[in-house]
Amino acid sequence: MARRATIVGSGPNGLAAAVALARAGYAVRVLEAAETIGGGTRTAELTLPGFRHDVGSAVHPAALSSPFFRAAGVHERVDWIIPDASFAHPLDGGRAAIAWRDLGRTVEELGADGRAWRAVLGPLNDGLRDVQETVGGPLLRLPPHPFMAARFGARMLQLGTRLGDRVFRTEAGAALLAGVLAHANTRLPSPAAAAAALLLAAHTHSTGWGFPRGGAQAIADALSSDLRAHGGEIETGVQVRTLAGLDVGDRDAGDLLLLDTSPRLAATHPDVPPRYARALRRYRYGPGAAKLDLALDGPVPWTNPDLSLAPTVHLGGSRAEIVAAENAVAAGRIPARPYVLAVQPSVLDETRAPSGKAVLWAYMHVPRDSPFDPTEAIIAQVERFAPGVRDRILAAHVTTAADREALNPAEVGGDILGGAFSLVQAVRRPVASPAPWRTPMRGVYLASAATPPGPGVSGMPGWWAARQALRDSTGVRIELDDLF
């Protein structure tokens, strides 16, 4: 009789784990609470017919560099759009700083800060694979690339403290980096935010900040197609609120149970040791994200036309403004002028809106569990750099931080990153262990963004969890080449 595995959650990590186990010979069943698969990689007509919005993530640097996606053929199954402008940052007065995929062009346009930009990002982009292998697994191990680990650590400590204020001296250079630092949704400056930013920025001038034509759903569809081709099944509309009825070994769960969920679900297992349950309760979640999706009667009317070349735009003004906004959120307040992460996929993807129309995806950071409606705050920040955008709005769809957990239980309190960013939690994600995917319960593994290497659409937490489960059950170290 075939060995059986159950995966709870059909986000990219759950589907990656499911694909790996199905290819290893397991009869795999995926249980998804929503009516559609994908978790953070779903696309839907949230506003009007013909306007396709990404429900969760929209741009996927980590997907393009993911070893698992590369091995699993996701790169070939998805039509990737890789923009010439990885991301952009408007400033008042019609100015803008742009991180082009071409490092030389970026350096030239940054002027006085060009040399510093090259010094910080050039080696990371040239050594992206070494960067991934260094920070893309548990930190409680010897680094596979000591020189890169030292370089990365030094930059992290520099940019994660007030010393970082001296690296970029111009408003454009400082703001361009600050927009990436703010992705971490934590206080600034901080070493944890710097580490997350450096990993993101390491894709800027290498693989790029790409996204799938047609929306993020294409990633989930590519993985689910591979899963079904290898006998796997997916059941939607199945909510798993407790593991009491999914004990490993019974007729429901099978031999392995992998959780692409909040680690809190693991604490409901009937055999969870009290010490492990306490460790999971100590795991902290960060602030939330409040999201606004807009259907527009035309492209965003940016004051600076170069902004229409960048699908990803960081809105927040100067470095000082971004720091103030993020620290307000970290202190539990709604910022008066928020940092807004905006994505305008339809500037390069004609499938996302009817001809001549556009979609805009945007979120701001807010305190955890906040019911705050971000509509006016986000529109005001976009209008600051694109006067007249308000007049182009045809329809809007709001998802508050309080809404997010109801829509996706893995996003506790609206935290879309799987846990708060801090150096402590970089080591303890969610527990301090060289194999944090393994739980003390027989056959039960964690496979979400709350485990290394953390957030980002890469499938790697799911692959690491499946790899650990296969090694524990067979005694053999399984590599990607063994399955694909």
Query: Contact at 8 Å (CB) between 213 and 221?
Result: no
Look at residue 64 and tell me if it is in a domain: no
Question: What is the band of 109 on the pLDDT scale with cuts at 50, 70, 90?
Answer: very high
Query: Contact at 8 Å (CB) between 221 and 78?
Result: no
Domain identity same for 244 and 344: no
Q: For residue 73, what is the DSSP state?
A: T
- The yes-or-no verdict on residue 69 having pLDDT over 60 is yes
Domain identity same for 292 and 171: yes
- The yes-or-no verdict on residue 137 having pLDDT over 80 is no
Closest CA to 456 of 44, 126, 64, 26: 64
Query: Contact at 8 Å (CB) between 360 and 51?
Result: no
Average pLDDT over residues 217-242: 96
- The yes-or-no verdict on residue 249 having pLDDT over 60 is no
Q: For residue 357, what is the DSSP state?
A: -
Distances (CA, A) of 415 to 185, 288, 322, 360, 403: 9, 4, 19, 21, 11
Phi-psi map region of 435: left, alpha, beta (phi>0 left; psi -120 to 50 alpha): beta
Distances (CA, A) of 196 to 153, 203, 276, 456, 481: 12, 12, 27, 10, 28
pLDDT of residue 36: 96
- State the pTM of this model: 0.96
Average pLDDT over residues 328-334: 98
Q: What is the pLDDT of residues 380-392, one digit of tens each?
A: 999 999 999 999 9
Amino acid at 442: R
Amino acid at 198: L
Q: For residue 17, what is the DSSP state?
A: H
pLDDT of residue 141: 80
Please count the structural domains in the chain.
2
- The yes-or-no verdict on residue 248 having pLDDT over 70 is no
- The yes-or-no verdict on residue 427 having pLDDT over 90 is no
Average pLDDT over residues 194-199: 95
Q: Which of 36-50, 94-108, 122-136 has the lowest mean pLDDT?
A: 122-136
- The yes-or-no verdict on residue 250 having pLDDT over 60 is no
Domain identity same for 312 and 178: yes
> Could you say which of 387, 407, 427 is where a domain stops?
407
CA distance 397 to 53: 10
Domain identity same for 85 and 232: no
| Residue 254, burial from CB neighbour count under 10 angstroms (0-12, 13-18, 19+) | buried
Domain identity same for 161 and 144: yes
Domain identity same for 158 and 252: no
pLDDT of residue 379: 98
CATH assignment of the domain containing 321: 3.90.660
Question: What is the band of 129 on the pLDDT scale with cuts at 50, 70, 90?
Answer: very high
Q: Pairing relation of β-strands 211-212 and 393-399?
A: unpaired
Question: What is the band of 144 on the pLDDT scale with cuts at 50, 70, 90?
Answer: confident
Q: Which of 139-148, 333-342, 422-431 has the lowest mean pLDDT?
A: 139-148
Task: Give the domain extent around 267.
Answer: 4-41+213-282+419-483
pLDDT of residue 1: 64
Look at residue 74 and tell me if it is in a domain: no
Domain identity same for 301 and 347: yes
Euclidean distance between the first and the last CA atom of the chain, given in angstroms as a whole number: 23
Return the sign of the alpha-carbon dihedral for residues 201, 307, 379, 54: negative
Look at residue 73 and tell me if it is in a domain: no
Domain identity same for 273 and 193: no
Per-chain mean pLDDT for the chain: 95
Q: Within a 10 A sphere around the Cβ of 475, how many other Cβ atoms?
A: 7
Domain identity same for 238 and 193: no
